[in-house]
Structure 1
Amino acid sequence: MSTVYSVEVPDAPTIPGEGKPRRNPFFDELLKHPPGVTTLWENFLHGLKESDGGNFLGHRPIENGVAQPYVWQTYPEVETRVINLGSGLRKLGLKPLSRLGLFMLNCPEWTLSELASYLHNFTTVPLYETLGIEAIDHIINETSMEYVITSHAKAQYLLNEKESLPTLHTIIVVDHIDQNLIEYGKSLNVQVVDFLKVEDEGSQNRVKPETVKPDDIATICYTSGTTGLPKGAILTHSNFVALVASLTSLAEKGKFFDVSKNDVHISYLPLAHVYERCNQAVMVYSGAAIGFYQGDTLKLLDDIAELKPTIFISVPRLLNRVYDKVLAGVKAKGGVAEWTFNSAYKQKKALLSRGIVNHWLWDRMVFAPVRARLGGRIRAILSGSAPISPDVLDFLRICFSADVYEGYGQTENAACVTISTYGDTVSGHVGGPQPCVEVKLVDVRDMGYTSQDKPFPRGEICVRGYSVFREYYKNPEKTEETLDKDGWCHTGDIGLWDSNGRLIIIDRYKNIFKLAQGEYIAPEKIESIYQKHELVSQVFVHGDSLQASLVGIIIPDSEALLGWARKNGFADKSYKELCEEPKVKNYILQTITKFGKEHDLKGFENIKNIYLSPEPFSVENDLLTPTFKMKRHQAQKHFARQIEIMYFEIS
């Protein structure tokens, strides 16, 4: 008898145009929080007890440019520092419920600052450079932010922007601080303070912690909109501890990996995003150790080799890289080595259908060097943030002999919608609902997806429950678009329920999507920039969530292209022939890439390959609506072959 991963909610009404809500089958009611843990500070206190005084936060000191072995702070040591830091921030004038900006790479000071905020009821607001200057200014100003904890380099960045940041008056620097920076701050009426001095001040002037309630705001996490400025999702303490309750309760039932004080997690995914903050909340609850990377992803494998983590939580972009490198290395060896690897791989893949990820011989003979790439101790791997190829999931199970899970969630639901479970080695789905939420599919008739589809119901994924955000900060219009009157969060993703009640993501409803590395893309914004160039008449930007880059269909401006051709040795070619000429394609690609950078497109927003089409998008060929808007779904189908070729060319 096959396992069922979701069940319809008993007595749920039948509503036309949508399927019935589904819940996790292993729990009778939605889980709200772990026993005795209703806030993130209580979450830390639980971990403090579980840790038995063990290691908590580790980092690698850099001496003469060389990373040294990890240096650790224990849970009790961190508790003392957090109490001191919280008191110090209060003495600086930071009040409960005020916004505290966190603007730095992952490091122990980030977690110390976050825990101090949970103790004194500050609201953290992450900032990150990839948003761009305009977005950072917007976040600081919209939240009336007065205090930011940051690094020296980013402190300089903020001071340079001070004219646009009227509320900012105190910057706490976590690494090194010099007199020049302090004086620069003074000249702008900004107090620049050393992080350790704030701690020291707090140790001498303890301030009574604030009482924090479950529904108090833990963070305002800004996420990209379809166009324009980012919007801030308000997430409460209750949202985060609901996720902790879900995963730890699944583990207790043997449906997920169980985290303990003996586990080690490497923190390199950005703490400015919800995904890694949720990961850390689960680690903290169980008293596990967290080692931070150096801050350079190019040196991540070196950090992993030194740390030897037991749990590896990642995103498809990095896991795809491991997959590509291993298989390329096998192919380069050739001969007997390649034959042996492929034979062992084939045998272990056959075992996956029976839920088996270990093999007594091949794990020692063939796959041990692969496991060593991630330190050799990995027992569980979790992929999230964006969809991952089934082939890569199979590869991870085979080569690392580890339990591999895939999760699905968003900022707006504290990264918590569905999760695959222990023993399920079938790839291509994201599991059943987390125990703290219920999920339903709503018809999207203009795309042909309905809850009555056969063999499987399809529709927009909607989620309701304890992990769902409260609202977008100061943005009722966007809140109303995402949260309906019954509390359902409309994700914009299209899914289907398979025969076992697992969710499969098949499409995107809203005109925004993620690339494989988890970056949000607003294609219309990119298209509007490219279309400003004289060589571009029309453009369709496409992204595949299993790919790390964008491609595009471009309709060149015929007059501009023919004029360029006459001056560059292509005068004898027609417009259609020019569109087929590789040198013309390469020239246009290089030109618009440069143009995009000049117009502030980030690296991941620039398209990496193009197809030149001589046929304009029109109402007649069903690529434009009667009001001349791009029919994205139709364009994707129309150019499916060209899109496949473009990705093959850049792979």
Structure 2
Amino acid sequence: LIFQKFNQAVLGGRVKTMLCGGAVLSEDTQRFVQAALCVTLFQGYGLTETCASGSIADQLDTSVGRAGYPLVCCEMRLQNWDEGQYRNTDKPHPRGEILIGGKMVAAGYFAEAAKENVNFKEINGTRYFSTGDIGEIFPDGTVKIIDRKKDLIKLRGGEYVSLTKVEMVIGKVPIVENCCLCASSSAEYTVLLISPNQRNIASYTEKHFDNKEWQKLIDDEDFGNQVLKDIQEACRKGGIERYETPQRVKVVADPWSPETGLVTDALKLKRKAIELKYHDDIEKLYREPPKQKQTKKSARVSPAKDSDKQPQQSVKKENTENENEKEVKRNETNEKQSKDVTDVSQDVIPDKQE
């Protein structure tokens, strides 16, 4: 009843159902919208190459995070992707790259884009399109988009980083309006570019640095370290692996919008355009690797063992005996010399009685 008033004020009070498509919707966001707006929010999945056909959730399905059931006009299958360790034999649910087939699949790309026609293939007389999306099929037949094949980057150490997965977690940080995680097969860690939320970043810098003009702080080292600390904490709470978590971050002043050419009309990232525009910044982030704290090892004197003490005692005892022997010999020599001197003196000095 409380949120029904909010529905009335914002949506007019007559909206009962909402459909989301174009990008993966997080489970937390779906739950929040359904609770706050008092509506049924469900997801659909499709691509331009398949005339938007794919799958759609049932209105009576109360699960979240899933894209629903395949439409009756198309077929859907999973193709193994061994490199990313997604297979249709995975347990508890089969996983793999989603292939959508049917008469609504396009014949191919036009002009220069025709080089991508390898994504179209025919299987058992049916034309399929390789979507590049990684899906998971549940026992009830519903589909869940869990990853993006083109967004998986292999680091130098052999680990795979899912760019979209990490960006979705970082996108929940209040100061982040949009972000782009950058990874390279020649690097051991990832770096991050952030397009900030204008209002939240102003209050953020005022809180931490007593300055609302955040544009003047984007090159400040303390500012960058504070933002990086908050980003890494969000990744830790979001279950992001250490090798996926960005180790360097750069806040940019330019807004990312369709007008600037850095995102599509559906607000999806244009990674190539972003990497070209901020090429120097990305190179600088990699040229200055994160500083690791070096701990000084204190020198310890290990206590002497009993086996070590025994030889020292025996050597000391032996030295003492040698000194005693030398002292005895020295005394004997002195006595002999004294006796010889006495005898000589007796020969030289005449006897008084005589």
TM-score, L = length of structure 1: 0.27
Structure with bigger gyration radius? 2
TM-score, L = length of structure 2: 0.48
Whose RCO is larger (CA < 8 A, sep 6+)? 1
